[in-house]
Amino acid sequence: MDLLMGRFADAEIDGFSDDEFRAFEALIELPDRELFAWIAEREPTPAEHDSQVFRRLKAFHRAFPTTEHIG
Protein backbone atom coordinates (compact mmCIF):
# COMPACT_ATOMS: atom_id res chain seq x y z
CA MET A 1 0.00 0.00 0.00
CA ASP A 2 2.90 2.35 0.62
CA LEU A 3 3.85 2.17 -3.05
CA LEU A 4 0.31 2.77 -4.26
CA MET A 5 -0.42 5.56 -1.80
CA GLY A 6 2.98 7.16 -2.36
CA ARG A 7 2.68 7.18 -6.14
CA PHE A 8 -0.83 8.61 -5.87
CA ALA A 9 0.34 11.29 -3.43
CA ASP A 10 3.29 12.20 -5.66
CA ALA A 11 0.95 12.64 -8.62
CA GLU A 12 -2.03 14.31 -6.93
CA ILE A 13 -1.28 15.90 -3.56
CA ASP A 14 -0.15 19.29 -4.89
CA GLY A 15 -3.67 19.86 -6.23
CA PHE A 16 -5.53 18.83 -3.07
CA SER A 17 -7.77 21.26 -1.26
CA ASP A 18 -7.62 21.26 2.53
CA ASP A 19 -10.65 18.95 2.67
CA GLU A 20 -9.13 16.57 0.14
CA PHE A 21 -5.88 16.49 2.09
CA ARG A 22 -7.79 15.60 5.27
CA ALA A 23 -9.64 12.84 3.40
CA PHE A 24 -6.32 11.48 2.13
CA GLU A 25 -4.84 11.56 5.62
CA ALA A 26 -7.85 9.59 6.87
CA LEU A 27 -7.23 6.95 4.19
CA ILE A 28 -3.58 6.66 5.17
CA GLU A 29 -4.61 5.85 8.75
CA LEU A 30 -6.75 2.87 7.69
CA PRO A 31 -5.47 -0.70 7.90
CA ASP A 32 -3.82 -1.68 4.61
CA ARG A 33 -5.90 -4.84 4.21
CA GLU A 34 -9.18 -2.93 4.42
CA LEU A 35 -8.08 -0.17 2.07
CA PHE A 36 -6.70 -2.63 -0.48
CA ALA A 37 -9.91 -4.70 -0.37
CA TRP A 38 -11.91 -1.57 -1.20
CA ILE A 39 -9.56 -0.47 -3.97
CA ALA A 40 -9.58 -3.96 -5.49
CA GLU A 41 -13.37 -4.07 -5.06
CA ARG A 42 -13.14 -7.24 -3.01
CA GLU A 43 -15.28 -5.58 -0.35
CA PRO A 44 -17.70 -2.65 -0.57
CA THR A 45 -16.30 0.71 0.44
CA PRO A 46 -17.98 2.10 3.57
CA ALA A 47 -19.88 5.30 2.81
CA GLU A 48 -17.75 7.35 5.22
CA HIS A 49 -14.63 6.55 3.16
CA ASP A 50 -16.17 6.71 -0.32
CA SER A 51 -14.90 10.23 -0.90
CA GLN A 52 -13.83 11.95 -4.10
CA VAL A 53 -10.23 11.37 -3.04
CA PHE A 54 -10.86 7.65 -2.59
CA ARG A 55 -12.48 7.44 -6.02
CA ARG A 56 -9.47 9.24 -7.51
CA LEU A 57 -7.18 6.77 -5.72
CA LYS A 58 -9.13 3.85 -7.21
CA ALA A 59 -8.95 5.39 -10.67
CA PHE A 60 -5.21 5.94 -10.26
CA HIS A 61 -4.80 2.30 -9.22
CA ARG A 62 -6.60 1.18 -12.37
CA ALA A 63 -4.52 3.48 -14.59
CA PHE A 64 -1.20 2.53 -12.96
CA PRO A 65 -1.58 -0.94 -11.47
CA THR A 66 1.21 -1.78 -9.05
CA THR A 67 -0.45 -4.31 -6.78
CA GLU A 68 -1.30 -7.37 -8.86
CA HIS A 69 1.09 -9.45 -6.75
CA ILE A 70 -0.44 -8.29 -3.44
CA GLY A 71 -3.38 -9.91 -1.76
pLDDT score at 66: 54
| Residue 70 in this model has a pLDDT that exceeds 50 | no
Residue 43: DSSP 8-state: S
Q: How many CA atoms lie within 13 A of 18 on its CB side?
A: 0
Contact 27, 49 (CB under 8 A): yes
**Is the pTM above the cut of 0.85?**
no
pLDDT score at 28: 94
Residue 42: DSSP 8-state: S
- List pLDDT tens digits, range 8-62: 999 999 999 999 999 999 999 999 999 999 998 999 999 999 999 999 999 998 8
